[in-house]
A and B are shown apart, each in its own frame.
Chain A
Amino acid sequence: MTGTVEIRNIVKRFGKVEAVRDVSFMLPEGETVALVGHNGAGKTTLMKLMLGLIRPTSGHIKVLGEDPAAGEFAARRRLGYLPENVSFNASLTGYETLAFYARLKREPAKSVATLLDRVGLTPAADRRVGTYSKGMRQRLGLAQALLGEPRVLLLDEPTTGLDPALRLSFYEIVEELRGRGATLLLSSHALTELEERAGRVIIMNHGIKVADGTLDELRRIARLPTRIRLKVTDAGLANVPNWLGPVDGWRQVNGHMVEIDAAPERKIEVLRRATDEGAPVEDLDVMPPTLDELYAHFLLSQETAR
């Protein structure tokens, strides 16, 4: 199996700080991958390594078949990058800025207007970038990353500072690109930011890869309990173990509520009992583990393993 990005046993040290420790993964075509971790977990470093902006201390990287730090630029023409806190020279207009980057990628000038339109910046194209709002700068950043139909897109914290409507249109553009076979790597400091859009999640902590898989796979590995909340009648409240059976980890909240943390394999059993004929249950809510809980679980399990 080959991927558009291959990373093998990468270590990167800055002086005494080990920013990335022995990380390996592969990004196949047409996949959206989320790179999640706290600030300083090594996300940006990994992206810079893939761009060839810095060299690994040891290990191998291949992006679109070539070493990004070798000084060959064929691959970079098919690569889009949106840095965290993207900034542009304030004195040029949006159009001029994008035209400059298009020339560097040998893209025709007409693609500039098309891209500005796509990110909704056409009305502001002839205004100086210095007058742009944070969201507009971010959109200009996205536009430059989309230059030249990139096959690999590296987006570093792309949705911070975007309002919900913009975030939605951002994900639409991203989804469209992925449909055309581009590899997408999105980084974020919180899993919830990604709203389940990534097919695969890589969680980083202190430079170590702590988890790698689809959200479903991660949920299975984590074995986080599903929270089941039952609204119970007064009579039922008195003898919960009787009708619910031997369930550990239940507690009473808000008077009439019973909350149960059900392990994945007990979930159905608990639900069956709660909805059984004669069970004193008036209402029921099932809450699967949230992305935040999942993320916290993996970070915590790695911290304790160290």
Chain B
Amino acid sequence: MRNILIVARKEIQEGLRNRWVLATTLLLAALALSLTFLGSAPTGNVGARALDVVIVSLSSLTIFLLPLIALLISHDAIVGEMERGTMLLLLSYPVARWQVLLGKFVGHLSILAFATLLGYGAAAGALIATGEIIDGESWMAFSSMIGSSILLGAAFIAVGYLVSALVRERGTAAGIAIGIWLVFVLIYDMALLGLLVVDQGQVLSGGLLNALLLLNPTDAYRLFNLTGSDNVSAFSGMAGVAQTTTLGPSVLLAALAAWALLPLGLAALAFSRREL
């Protein structure tokens, strides 16, 4: 356990030093703040509860940005250190490979969590500063949005590690990471939509659709946040989906957690088998 924390601490130290933490936090805060102020334009000031609007826009932002940031910091974790030769020295120390991997995971996830919390928190802070009154239900939805965003980040960090543990060169890892981002964030949904249109409800049952949605962590995240609370789903235009889908929040969260743990386990396995 201590080894994991030692490695995690070093990752955070490096993240602070090479400005990863700063850059990510600033980027998320800047986008969150601009969405907060621009986002109130379409709804005006009538009726719509400000924080719920922010949740809708921020979770859409998360789906694009967090997987990208997570893959950027994780795809290099193993193959990069191997290529630079730092891994050889590290593994000659009394530390197991799975401890190295888990330590990196804790470190990278802390960086991401810190940036998300601070960046998105700035949006909520800005709303309070402008005198909005936010009720408890909105706060619940907001904090579960932040929590699930971090979980989504964890899933893509783990996927990045798996790629990093499997490939031989850093360039390959970067290419595959971009490919994974494209597939999960853009192509998967388009393909699914196309499939539904072509199928016209003939073959694809509700159960199969649910399964297909769980097979993509960004869809699980989207469903969790946009259908999680009635108010939010009304704004997001997802109310229809929310009524038809049978996937409860706990199933969606479990899917996200599985997306983090399974690749992490596989990455540990691949890493432990790798010859140096």
User: What residues of B have a CB within 8 angstroms of the CB of A101 in the complex?
Assistant: 93
Q: Is the CB of A105 within 8 A of B86?
A: no
Say yes or no: is A305 at the interface (Cβ < 8 Å to chain B). no
A101 vs B90: C-alpha distance in the bound complex, in angstroms?
8
Interchain nearest-CB distance for A207 vs B (Å): 16
Is B47 among interface residues, defined by CB-CB distance under 8 A?
Answer: no
Given contacts A53-B88, A104-B3, contact A92 B95 (CB under 8 A): no
| CB of A96 closer than 8 Å to a CB of B | yes
Q: Which residues of A contact B84 (CB under 8 A)?
A: 87, 89
Bin chain A's interface residue count: 20 to 34
A73 within 8 A of B: yes
| Bound-state Cα–Cα, A133 to B211, Å | 56
Contact assessment for A76 and B89 in the assembled complex, using a CB-CB cutoff below 8 Å: no
Query: Which residues of A are found within 8 Å of B275, using beta-carbon distances?
Result: 14, 54
Residue B276 interfacial (CB < 8 Å): yes
Evaluate contact between A71 and B96: CB separation under 8 angstroms: yes
Given the complex, which residues of A lie within 8 Å of B86, measured CB to CB? 87-89
Q: From residue A77, how far is it (CB to closest CB) to chain B in Å?
A: 5
Is B172 an interface residue when CB atoms closer than 8 A count as contact?
no
Distance (whole angstroms) from the CB of A119 to the closest CB of chain B: 16
CA of A3 to CA of B275 in the docked complex: distance in angstroms? 27
Query: Cβ of A73 and Cβ of B276 under 8 Å apart?
Result: no
Contact A54 B276 (CB under 8 A): yes
**Chain A nearest Cβ from B132, distance in angstroms:** 41
* Cβ–Cβ < 8 Å partners of B276 in chain A: 48, 53-54
In the complex, what residues of B have CB within 8 A of residue A88's CB?
Answer: 86, 89
Task: Answer yes or no: B10 CB below 8 A from chain A CBs.
Answer: yes
How far is A14 from B10 in the complex, measured between Cα atoms in Å? Answer: 33
Q: Contact check, A104 vs B17: say whether CB atoms are below 8 A apart.
A: no
Across the interface, do A81 and B95 meet the contact criterion of CB distance under 8 Å? no
Residues of A with C-beta under 8 A to B136? none
**Given known A54-B275, A71-B96, A96-B13, contact A144–B89 (CB-CB < 8 A):** yes
Question: B250: CB under 8 A from chain A?
Answer: no
Query: Is A224 part of the contact surface with B, judged by Cβ < 8 Å?
Result: no
How long is the Cα–Cα vector from A66 to B85 in the complex, in angstroms?
26
A224 to chain B minimum Cβ distance, whole angstroms, is: 37
Q: Are A81 and B92 touching (Cβ within 8 A)?
A: yes
| CB-contacts of B65-101 with A (<8 A) | 84-86, 88-96
Q: Do B85 and A103 touch across chains, with their CB atoms under 8 A apart?
A: no
Q: How far is B90's CA from A83's CA once the two chains are assembled, in angstroms?
A: 11
Docked-complex contact B94 and A92, CB < 8 angstroms: no
22 contacts across the A-B interface (CB closer than 8 A): A51-B92, A53-B91, A73-B94, A73-B95, A76-B92, A79-B92, A81-B89, A83-B88, A86-B85, A87-B85, A88-B86, A88-B89, A89-B14, A91-B18, A92-B10, A92-B14, A92-B17, A104-B3, A104-B6, A104-B94, A104-B95, A105-B93
Contacts A51-B92, A76-B93 known; 18 new A-B pairs at CB < 8 A: A48-B276, A71-B96, A73-B94, A73-B96, A79-B92, A81-B89, A81-B92, A83-B85, A83-B89, A87-B86, A88-B86, A88-B89, A89-B86, A100-B9, A104-B3, A104-B6, A104-B90, A141-B89
Q: Which residues of B contact A (CB under 8 A)?
A: 3, 6, 9-10, 13-14, 17-18, 84-86, 88-96, 275-276
A-B pairs with lowest CB-CB distance, top 4: A73-B94, A76-B94, A91-B17, A81-B92
